[in-house]
Amino acid sequence: MCEGVEAVRVKFLGGFLSLVAIFLLFTGVVLAPGYTQRVNDKDLGEEVPREKPVVPPEDNLPPKAATGEYDYGSPVPPAEIPVDDDYFADAVFIGDSRTRGLQTLSGPTTATYLTAIGLTVDTVLTKPLIKTEDGLVSVLDALRATPFGKVYLMLGINELGWVYSEVFIEHYQKILTEIKKINPQAQIYLQSILPVAASREDQIYNNARIREYNALLQQLARENKVYYLNVAECVSDAAGALLADASTDGVHLKKEYCDLWYEYLRLHYVP
C-alpha cells in the first residue's frame, strides 16, 4: 500500500520536473548550480545587430558626385589668389574690337592677340585678317602657327543682327572643333558677350539678345567641356546693361573697365 503511494509520488514528481525543464527551455532561463539567469543580448554586453543603411549604386548618384567631373555648365568661380601676367604667357586671345581694346588698354602683356575689327564667328575660319611675315592669314591659320596652352574667346557682338542664333552657335562650334584639333590639351575659355549700355540699345544691339546668345554659349561650353567665363558680370549694372560710365559709345570699354575685365580674368581660372 505504501509502496503504491510512493510510486505515484515518484511519477508525479518526474512529470513535474519534465514540465519545468520544457518551460525553462522555451523561456531562455539557464540553470546552473545554485542560481538561475535569464539570457539576453543586453546582459551579454553584445551589440544588437542593426540593419545597414542602403547605399545606392553609383549609377543612381548625381552625375557630378558619381564621376567627379568638372561642371562645365557653370561659370568658372573666383579663385582665392589671382594669377599674374606670367600665367597668360601661353594664352591666345581671339576676338573683335572689344578684345583689341583689352589688348591696347589693360590686357596681359605676355599673351598673344588675334583680333580684328568686325571679326565674327564665320570670318575667324576663313577671312585673311591677321598680319604675318607671309601676308594676311585667317585667325585660325595664325593660331596654327602659334604655340599655345590656353585660348580666350569673345565673339558675338557683331553677330547680334543675324536672323538665326543657331547659325551663330554652329560657327562657334566649328571654331572649338578646330582649336581642339590643333591642341587637344589646351584650356579653352568662352567669355560671355559684354552688354551694351541702355542708351545704346536698339532692335539689333540690345541686352535681351545678348543674354540669349550668352545662354547658348553656356550650353555650348557644357557640351564641349570647355570653360565658361561670365565676364559680363564685372561691367553690368543691376538691370544687366553696361554701366553708364563704362563706355563713350555704349559698346567699347574705357580703360578703367578694361582693367576690371582683366582683373576678372586673373581671378577666374582653372588650375
| Per-residue pLDDT tens digits of the chain, which is 271 residues long | 444 444 434 444 455 445 544 444 444 444 333 333 333 333 333 444 444 444 333 333 333 534 578 899 999 999 999 999 999 999 999 999 999 999 999 999 999 999 999 999 999 999 999 999 999 999 999 999 999 999 999 999 999 999 999 999 999 999 999 999 999 999 999 999 999 999 999 999 999 999 999 999 999 999 999 999 999 999 999 999 999 999 999 999 999 999 999 999 999 999 9
- In one-letter notation, the amino acid at residue 243 is L
pLDDT on residue 225: 97
pLDDT on residue 255: 98
On whether the CB atoms of residues 188 and 153 are closer than 8 A, the answer is yes
Looking only at the bridges linking them, the beta strands covering 135-137 and 35-38 are unpaired
pLDDT on residue 15: 52
Grid cell digits, residue 63: 552625375
pLDDT on residue 64: 53
Statement: 71-267 belongs to CATH 3.40.50.1110: yes
Provide the b/e sequence for 216-231 (b: ≥16 CB within 10 Å).
Answer: bbbebbeebebbbbbb
What is the number of helices (H) and of strands (E) in the chain?
9, 9
Grid cell digits, residue 248: 563713350
Rounded to whole angstroms, the Cα distance separating 219 from 240 reads: 20
On whether the CB atoms of residues 95 and 130 are closer than 8 A, the answer is no
Q: Give the orientation angle of helix 207-224 with respect to helix 165-182, to 10 degrees.
A: 40
Rounded to whole angstroms, the Cα distance separating 197 from 89 reads: 32
pLDDT on residue 69: 83
- In one-letter notation, the amino acid at residue 251 is V
Radius of gyration (C-alpha) of the chain in whole angstroms: 38
On whether the CB atoms of residues 196 and 156 are closer than 8 A, the answer is no
- In one-letter notation, the amino acid at residue 44 is L
Question: Does residue 240 come out as left (phi exceeding 0), alpha (psi in the -120 to 50 range) or beta?
Answer: left
Residue with cell 544691339: 205
Grid cell digits, residue 75: 561659370
Residue with cell 540593419: 51
Domain map (residue ranges) of the chain: 2-47, 71-267
Cα diameter, the chain: 140
pLDDT on residue 44: 34
- In one-letter notation, the amino acid at residue 43 is D
- Helix H or strand E segment including 29: strand 29-32
Residue 242 CB-half CA count within 13 A: 28
**How is 101-164 classified by DSSP, letter by letter?**
HHHHHTS-TTSEEEE-TT--TTHHHH---EEETTEEE-HHHHHHTS--SEEEEE--GGGTT-S-
